[in-house]
Every structure is written in structure tokens, then in C-alpha cells.
Amino acid sequence: MIITSENRDSARFGREAFNEIVKYFPVLYSGLPQPPDVSYYQSGIFKEITDTDGNKKTISFSSEAGQDEYFTLYAYFLKRKNRQQDANARRSALIKIYTALNSIFGTLSYGGTYFGHMYARIPAYAEYSLYTYENAKDHYTRDYPVAEQKTIFLNSLRQYITDEVKVDNNILG
């Protein structure tokens, strides 16, 4: 089974491996979804199991690449719950925004593994944002325009970029 996320990252699992993940990591799909980082740490990250032949084996998401795989699975399962009418458009917009912010901060920090791995994890954060918005919107009784807050945020971000480039003009892009 190949699971492809919205940002085109994918994880490949054999049927048996996928079924074992479903069996031993129910936090991925059952109950109320937690934020991706919380879910990851609540999952146990590492499971030692005994297969049908009595052999001990390990299922682990303990490396950075393993965490990326976990987040891909998290996004896959939560996407199945996020079936509201405008989910695809909102999902795409969130992934685009989160990716752009990751790129900006990665560039200003000269990259690094954190920013590289975040690209694989962004769809999980987008799915959780969709989920929390959909399940909390009835609790918000105020509806007002956010154009001014958006302008303030973008101006603040532009100022931050300008300040960083002034301090370190070796930043490319």
C-alpha cells in the first residue's frame, strides 16, 4: 500500500505491515484526534510485537524519517474524517501557507533537517487544523473580517525578513 500525502510525499507499506500499524497504533485513527506532535508521542513510537509465527519484531517510528512516516499516516487517517464540503480547498490553502512559511523560515535559518522534515509533516498539521476548525466553529459566535489582522501579520513577516536580510545579507532568495 502506498499512502501519498497532499505534498506528494509518500510512504510504502506492505499489507501485513499496514495492518500491524493499524493494530498497534490505534491513536492514529481512534478517538478524538490530538495535535500531530501529541499523537506521535502518545503512540508509544516503538512497539515490540510477536508475529503469528512467534517471532519477535519491532514497529518503530523513532527516527526522523520514522516520524515523517507517522505524520503521513496521521494525515491519511485524519483526512478520512475531514469530509466537509470545502475540505479540499481549505486543505490545499493551508498546505500552501504552511509550506511557504516553512520555506521562509528555513531560508532565513540556512535550512537544516528541521525544515526539511517539516515538509513531510505539514499535511498532518493541515489536517489537524481542518479538523479543529470544523469541530469548533459552532463554538465561535462572532463572525468578523480578518483582513486587518492578515495585513498586520504579513507586514510583520515582511519586516522580520527585511531585518534578517539586513543583519545577514548572505541569505539567498
Q: Where are the domains of the chain?
A: 2-167
Give the residue-averaged pLDDT of 3-13.
Answer: 72
Burial of 31 (0-12, 13-18, 19+ CB in 10 A): exposed
Residue 56 forms beta bridges with which residues?
50
Residue 1 forms beta bridges with which residues?
none
Q: Which pLDDT does position 141 carry in this prediction? A: 64
pLDDT tens by residue, 30-81: 889 999 999 999 998 889 988 778 889 899 999 999 999 999 999 999 999 9
Cell numbers 494525515 correspond to 75
CA-CA distance, 92 to 96, in Å (whole number)? 6
pLDDT tens by residue, 123-166: 999 999 999 988 887 776 667 788 999 999 999 999 999 998 88
pLDDT above 70 as % of the chain: 92
Closest CA to 116 of 105, 124, 127, 126: 105
Give the chain's mean pLDDT.
88
| CB of 45 closer than 8 Å to CB of 24 | no
Closest CA to 67 of 2, 110, 9, 16: 9
Q: Please state, as a whole number, how many other Cβ atoms lie within 10 Å of the Cβ of residue 85.
A: 7
Q: Which pLDDT does position 105 carry in this prediction? A: 94
pLDDT at 83 over 60: yes
In single-letter form, the type of residue at position 13 comes to F
